[in-house]
Amino acid sequence: AQDLVGIQIGQRLDLHVEGVDTAQAAKVLRINPATSGSSRNVMVYLQLEGPTSKLRIGAFVQGLLPLQSKGQVLAVPFNAVRDQGGRQAVWVVRQGKLEEQLVRTGIRDDRAKAPNGALGMIQILEGLNEGDTVVATALGTSSSGSAAMKSGVPVQLTQP
């Protein structure tokens, strides 16, 4: 519901229908003025544009309404950001060693492809500078259960 102010009548989006290769264009026709119960969900009605012959009743359809758009921003792959007890952090490499860096994040783009091939990028508002080397990978744990990565550990960078 907090993102409701970012949705406008007439706003366009692409719908992706399971089993159909091409996107289905649509636009926002109407927005319910109230949330549905305690869920904070808001019904948004769409009008399909163009041919709809490939759509079937009961088909799974997914679409994203872009709520904000920014020009050039500092962003990292979404899988690089970890939640640390209500704070967000990333691993960076400084002078050949790992360092945990707290960050403040902004908007997220789930469809943007990251340089590491992962899907999803997130804006960094504070905590990083352009050119910082960020570790963006799924981090595991050692057999003893302790974190596999720790601040101060020397690292050697390799290309995937």
CATH number at residue 120: 2.40.420.20
Asked if 61 and 15 count as a contact pair (C-beta separation under 8 A), the reply is yes
Asked if 47 and 93 count as a contact pair (C-beta separation under 8 A), the reply is no
Q: Residue 149 corresponds to which amino acid? A: M
Do 59 and 6 sit in the same domain of this protein? yes
Q: Residue 17 corresponds to which amino acid? A: V
Dihedral sign for Cα 91, 159, 78, 138, please: negative
Do 24 and 48 sit in the same domain of this protein? yes
- How much is the pLDDT for 71? 67
**38, 63, 88 — which closes off a domain?**
63
Do 56 and 79 sit in the same domain of this protein? no
pLDDT of 139 higher than 80: no
21 in any annotated domain: yes
Structure tokens of 80?
């690089």
122 in any annotated domain: yes
Based on the number of CB atoms within 10 Å of its own CB, is 5 exposed (0-12), middle (13-18) or buried (19 or more)? exposed
pTM of the model: 0.53
The tens digit of pLDDT for each residue in 18-68 reads: 888 888 889 999 988 877 777 777 888 999 998 888 888 888 988 877 766
- How much is the pLDDT for 141? 42
User: Which whole number is the average pLDDT over 67-91?
Assistant: 82
pLDDT of 140 higher than 90: no
Percentage of the chain exceeding pLDDT 70: 81
**29, 63, 97 — which closes off a domain?**
63
Based on the number of CB atoms within 10 Å of its own CB, is 8 exposed (0-12), middle (13-18) or buried (19 or more)? exposed
Tell me how many domains the chain contains.
2
38 is in which domain, residue-wise? Answer: 2-63
pLDDT of 3 higher than 80: no
89 in any annotated domain: yes
42 in any annotated domain: yes
- How much is the pLDDT for 68? 62
Asked if 124 and 78 count as a contact pair (C-beta separation under 8 A), the reply is no
Do 102 and 80 sit in the same domain of this protein? yes
Do 47 and 9 sit in the same domain of this protein? yes
Any idea what DSSP says for residue 72?
Answer: S
158 in any annotated domain: no
Do 51 and 79 sit in the same domain of this protein? no
Q: Which residue has the higher pLDDT, 51 or 151?
A: 51
124: pLDDT confidence band, cut at 50, 70 and 90?
very high
45 in any annotated domain: yes
149 in any annotated domain: no
110 in any annotated domain: yes
Q: Please give the torsion angle defined by the CA atoms of residues 134, 82, 4 and 51, in that order, rounded to the nearest 10 degrees.
A: 70
